[in-house]
Amino acid sequence: MAIVSKIYCSSSQLVFMVRKRPHVVNGGGFVATDCSQKVVFRVDGCGILGTKDELILRGSDGEALLLIRRKGAMVEALSIYRTWKGYTFDYEGAAKLVFSLKEPKSCLARSNAIRICVEPKERKKDWDFEIKGYFPDRDCSIVDSRGNIVAQVGAKKEVDELMASKDLYRVVVKPGMDQAFVFGVIATLDYVHGESTRC
């Protein structure tokens, strides 16, 4: 399912390793590498951008793929959700909304669902994807509205010992799913839970 671009949809399942970057060296964020340890995606967070509540997902060549911002203003103060919006840029540089992520204000509670809507809205449900599990434990999935797992954050038992640190974890993206979208969601979860992309 192409959300950011069909370029990032593969016909086979892909496994990525995510490594957080320290704030003191690179200003935070993280990199995602493929099985050959080539950087595929990089996320620049607040420590690099110098802007609170803003992230940029970049491709392997450093090109900005997604700008992710938290929606502010008085409307959010009255809502039970905090809303994040992901934008792509067209060839003229204009921003185009591709997804919205609704984070319950009491997000640290494990039972509250984080839901994602893809633009344009062409569905009967009010959401397209949902986060199941708890990101800080590195045990969560992105699930579509039919209940299918499209991406998983975590590690197999045999790899757990190598990943004793939460600074390194595995992401599995199912066939046909837009990897750039998945990493845009993961970057947002990272920020929401106060990890490497946050100041």
DSSP one-letter string for 36-94: T--EEEEEE-HHHH--TTEEEEEETTS-EEEEEEE--SHHHHHSSEEEEEEEEE-TT--
| pLDDT value of residue 26 | 65
Alpha carbons 23 and 153: distance in angstroms, whole number? 22
Residue at token pair 């790899």: 159
- Element spanning 192, H or E: helix 179-192
| pLDDT value of residue 193 | 86
CATH topology for the 6-192 domain: Porin (2.40.160)
Give 10-residue mean pLDDT values along the chain (199 residues): 92 94 73 94 83 90 92 57 86 83 65 81 77 90 94 68 68 97 95 81
| pLDDT value of residue 33 | 95
